[in-house]
Amino acid sequence: MVSAAPTLPRRALAWLRAEWMLGAFGLLAVVLAVADPQPLAAYRRWLQRPTLAGLLGLMIAIEGIRDSGLVQHLAGALAARVHGLRALGLLLVTVAALLSMALTNDVSLFLVVPLTVAIGGVSNLPVARMVVLEALAVNAGSTLSPIGNPQNLLLWQYGHLSFAGFAAAMLPVFAVMFALVAALAWAWLPRERVTIEAAAVDGHPVSAAQATLSVAALLSMVLMMEHGLALYGALMLLVPFALLERRTLARLDWALLATFAAIFLSLGHFAALPWVGRALDGLGLDRPLPLYLTGIAASQLISNVPATVLLLDRANDPLLLAAAVNVGGFGVATGSLANLIALRLARQPRSLRLMHRVSIPFLLVCAPLVYAVVHWL
């Protein structure tokens, strides 16, 4: 007996279960818009269109690289040359952290996570654990650089600091974070040798032309983002792909893009509510410890970039605020949008639960250590 195909309501319910974050933040955005209507200009500001355009361009370029077979080829080569899972894990964590300093935390994840998934496809590397570690690593690595993440860029410009001065001030914070990530990777990954499935490695031919074009597209997109031209960069990729590679566009994770839009709208609106501002005014943010704790707590509630915008004018120490909101990227997955990117790129079962089992205790250990280092230095 042939089972009946799922009905439309069942398919819709299954989709809502899978995209619960989009539904939750979308609902919050609608509720806030009804309860507290704002001018259209405010919604445009909260939507952060350049960020969404940059994300779209990166997704297109990475999908092209995947289709070319380049990632699978590199995965097989790397897995064949590193013999222990712990050594391989530490290498990937270090690469993710270093890339995040120059290319930002989200761009580095678009490079490292697909490589990790591909390595897991040809070896015994525990992909879900590695992706969680890489999310932690890019949050740590991007802390050191003024251009490593949006909150650092904002605070660097606001504080009128030199590039080297900002990096020097954040070096102790980064050192504590990365030492904890490396220690976690060493303790959490299995003490086993890398086992490679030869058939899986051999089954991925590389299209040199497509790989070259896709890598060039990725580099051009990063360059356009660096110069504030993300919208033009995304259009430069979207138009030719729409004309020539519609199947690639169809495979993009459009729900991820919609989820980010819902997060930006809902959390941006929430942070702008008058009663939120009044509550913050009574917290004594002119003192170090309340500022540090508020930065972390706000990051857990509304993500670290909106938290930075919310606290910027109330903080008399932008470097301490930078430490707080970067530490606040750990904990719940929405503390840093890079966490959500990592989980969606990997698409591993129960990865959100796994991240919280690790990231929340990580925050509880990391936060006091970072404050102690910053306070003593």
Rounded to 5 degrees, φ, ψ at 240 are -65, -35
pLDDT digits (tens, 9 = 90+) for 76-115: 666 667 778 999 899 899 989 988 887 778 878 888 898 8
Residues making up the chain, counted from first to last: 377
Is the distance from CB of 290 to CB of 283 less than 8 angstroms? Answer: yes
Residues 6+ apart with CB under 8 A from 114: 62, 65, 66, 71, 345
CA 272, CA 198: separation in Å to the nearest integer?
55
Distances (CA, A) of 6 to 13, 15, 36, 270, 324: 11, 12, 39, 38, 47
pLDDT in tens, the chain (377 residues): 455 556 767 777 777 776 777 888 899 999 999 999 999 999 988 887 887 888 788 788 877 777 777 766 676 666 667 778 999 899 899 989 988 887 778 878 888 898 898 888 878 889 999 999 999 999 999 999 887 888 887 788 677 778 888 899 999 999 999 999 999 999 999 988 878 664 554 455 767 777 788 788 878 887 887 777 888 888 888 887 787 777 778 888 888 788 878 888 887 888 788 888 788 777 888 889 999 999 999 999 888 888 887 887 788 888 999 999 999 999 999 899 889 889 988 888 888 999 999 999 999 999 999 999 998 87
CA 337, CA 48: separation in Å to the nearest integer?
13
Rounded to 5 degrees, φ, ψ at 331 are 90, -130
Number of H helices, E strands in the chain: 21, 0
Instruction: Give me the residues paired with residue 123 across strands.
Output: 196
Is the distance from CB of 176 to CB of 373 less than 8 angstroms? Answer: yes
Tell me the whole-structure pTM to 2 decimals. Answer: 0.78
Question: 224-251 as b/e, with b when 16 or more CB fall inside 10 Å?
Answer: bbbeebbbebbebbeeebeeebeebbee
Nearest CA to 298 out of 306, 307, 289 is that of 307
Rounded to 5 degrees, φ, ψ at 229 are -120, 35
pLDDT digits (tens, 9 = 90+) for 36-67: 999 999 998 888 788 788 878 878 887 777 77
The DSSP call for residue 196 is B
Cβ atoms within 10 Å of 273's Cβ, excluding its own: 13
CA 38, CA 358: separation in Å to the nearest integer?
39
CA 188, CA 271: separation in Å to the nearest integer?
37
Distances (CA, A) of 205 to 134, 135, 251, 320: 27, 29, 20, 49
For 223, the token pair is 């360059």
